[in-house]
Amino acid sequence: METRVVGMIVLAGVIVQILLGLYGGVKPSMTNPMTLLHIVIGISGLGITLFMTNKALKVAATPVTKYVMIVASIVVLSQVGTGYMLLTGMSNRPMDHAMSAYLIVALLVGHAAYAMYWQKKQQSKAA
Protein backbone atom coordinates (compact mmCIF):
# COMPACT_ATOMS: atom_id res chain seq x y z
CA MET A 1 0.00 0.00 0.00
CA GLU A 2 1.35 3.39 -0.91
CA THR A 3 2.35 5.58 2.03
CA ARG A 4 0.18 8.46 0.82
CA VAL A 5 -2.88 6.24 1.14
CA VAL A 6 -1.80 5.11 4.60
CA GLY A 7 -1.23 8.74 5.59
CA MET A 8 -4.74 9.64 4.45
CA ILE A 9 -6.14 6.71 6.44
CA VAL A 10 -4.30 7.92 9.56
CA LEU A 11 -5.53 11.49 9.03
CA ALA A 12 -9.10 10.27 8.56
CA GLY A 13 -8.75 8.15 11.71
CA VAL A 14 -7.53 11.12 13.73
CA ILE A 15 -10.44 13.23 12.53
CA VAL A 16 -12.88 10.44 13.43
CA GLN A 17 -11.19 10.20 16.82
CA ILE A 18 -11.61 13.93 17.41
CA LEU A 19 -15.28 13.77 16.42
CA LEU A 20 -15.85 10.74 18.65
CA GLY A 21 -14.18 12.53 21.53
CA LEU A 22 -16.13 15.74 21.07
CA TYR A 23 -19.57 14.44 20.11
CA GLY A 24 -19.58 10.67 20.47
CA GLY A 25 -20.08 10.33 24.17
CA VAL A 26 -16.70 8.82 25.03
CA LYS A 27 -16.72 8.22 28.79
CA PRO A 28 -13.87 7.06 31.03
CA SER A 29 -15.36 3.57 31.26
CA MET A 30 -14.24 0.36 29.57
CA THR A 31 -17.86 -0.79 29.24
CA ASN A 32 -18.94 2.11 27.03
CA PRO A 33 -19.03 1.00 23.36
CA MET A 34 -17.93 4.42 22.09
CA THR A 35 -14.94 4.34 24.42
CA LEU A 36 -13.99 0.88 23.17
CA LEU A 37 -14.28 2.06 19.55
CA HIS A 38 -12.14 5.10 20.43
CA ILE A 39 -9.50 2.83 22.00
CA VAL A 40 -9.43 0.41 19.06
CA ILE A 41 -9.01 3.23 16.54
CA GLY A 42 -6.31 4.83 18.71
CA ILE A 43 -4.25 1.66 19.12
CA SER A 44 -4.63 0.92 15.39
CA GLY A 45 -3.48 4.45 14.62
CA LEU A 46 -0.40 3.94 16.76
CA GLY A 47 0.45 0.78 14.84
CA ILE A 48 -0.10 2.44 11.47
CA THR A 49 1.97 5.47 12.48
CA LEU A 50 4.83 3.23 13.59
CA PHE A 51 4.56 1.38 10.26
CA MET A 52 4.72 4.67 8.36
CA THR A 53 7.68 5.82 10.44
CA ASN A 54 9.51 2.59 9.64
CA LYS A 55 8.85 3.17 5.92
CA ALA A 56 9.99 6.80 6.16
CA LEU A 57 13.23 5.87 7.90
CA LYS A 58 14.07 3.37 5.17
CA VAL A 59 13.19 5.49 2.12
CA ALA A 60 12.26 9.13 2.67
CA ALA A 61 10.60 11.04 -0.14
CA THR A 62 11.32 14.47 1.34
CA PRO A 63 14.16 15.75 3.52
CA VAL A 64 11.96 16.32 6.58
CA THR A 65 9.79 13.20 6.35
CA LYS A 66 11.95 11.23 8.77
CA TYR A 67 11.79 13.90 11.46
CA VAL A 68 8.07 14.56 11.06
CA MET A 69 7.25 10.86 11.31
CA ILE A 70 9.45 10.39 14.38
CA VAL A 71 7.73 13.33 16.09
CA ALA A 72 4.31 12.02 14.99
CA SER A 73 5.10 8.58 16.45
CA ILE A 74 6.07 10.12 19.78
CA VAL A 75 2.96 12.31 19.85
CA VAL A 76 0.67 9.37 18.99
CA LEU A 77 2.33 7.28 21.71
CA SER A 78 1.77 10.08 24.22
CA GLN A 79 -1.82 10.34 22.95
CA VAL A 80 -2.40 6.68 23.77
CA GLY A 81 -0.69 7.17 27.14
CA THR A 82 -2.86 10.13 28.13
CA GLY A 83 -5.91 8.18 27.00
CA TYR A 84 -5.07 5.37 29.39
CA MET A 85 -4.46 7.94 32.12
CA LEU A 86 -7.99 9.23 31.53
CA LEU A 87 -9.34 5.68 31.78
CA THR A 88 -7.65 5.21 35.15
CA GLY A 89 -9.34 8.31 36.53
CA MET A 90 -6.76 11.04 36.06
CA SER A 91 -9.34 13.66 35.16
CA ASN A 92 -6.76 16.45 34.90
CA ARG A 93 -5.46 15.23 31.49
CA PRO A 94 -8.30 15.70 28.96
CA MET A 95 -6.79 18.91 27.58
CA ASP A 96 -3.43 17.17 26.99
CA HIS A 97 -5.26 14.37 25.21
CA ALA A 98 -7.24 16.76 22.99
CA MET A 99 -4.32 19.05 22.16
CA SER A 100 -2.10 16.18 21.08
CA ALA A 101 -4.85 15.08 18.67
CA TYR A 102 -4.81 18.54 17.09
CA LEU A 103 -1.00 18.41 16.98
CA ILE A 104 -1.17 15.10 15.08
CA VAL A 105 -3.54 16.66 12.53
CA ALA A 106 -1.27 19.70 12.15
CA LEU A 107 1.80 17.49 11.67
CA LEU A 108 0.17 15.29 9.03
CA VAL A 109 -1.46 18.15 7.09
CA GLY A 110 1.68 20.30 7.31
CA HIS A 111 3.85 17.46 6.11
CA ALA A 112 1.49 16.66 3.23
CA ALA A 113 1.60 20.30 2.10
CA TYR A 114 5.39 20.36 2.33
CA ALA A 115 5.68 17.06 0.43
CA MET A 116 3.52 18.41 -2.40
CA TYR A 117 5.63 21.60 -2.54
CA TRP A 118 8.88 19.61 -2.52
CA GLN A 119 7.68 17.25 -5.26
CA LYS A 120 6.61 20.17 -7.45
CA LYS A 121 10.00 21.80 -6.88
CA GLN A 122 11.80 18.56 -7.85
CA GLN A 123 9.73 18.26 -11.02
CA SER A 124 10.49 21.83 -12.04
CA LYS A 125 14.22 21.17 -11.55
CA ALA A 126 14.05 18.09 -13.76
CA ALA A 127 12.26 19.91 -16.59
pLDDT at 64: 80
> Looking at the predicted structure, is the pLDDT value of residue 1 above 60?
no
Question: Which of helix, strand or coil describes residue 62?
Answer: coil
- CB-based burial label for 56 (10 Å; 0-12, 13-18, 19+): buried
**Residue 100 CB coordination number (10 Å):** 20
| Overall number of domains in the chain | 1
- Mean pLDDT in residue range 112-127: 81
Q: Using the predicted structure, report yes or no on whether residue 31 has a pLDDT greater than 80.
A: yes
The rounded mean pLDDT for the chain is 83
**What percent of the chain clears pLDDT 90, i.e. is strictly above it?**
11
Contact in structure between 45 and 10 (CB atoms under 8 Å): yes
Q: Quick check: 117 pLDDT over 80?
A: yes
Could you tell me the residue range of the domain that residue 78 belongs to?
A: 3-126
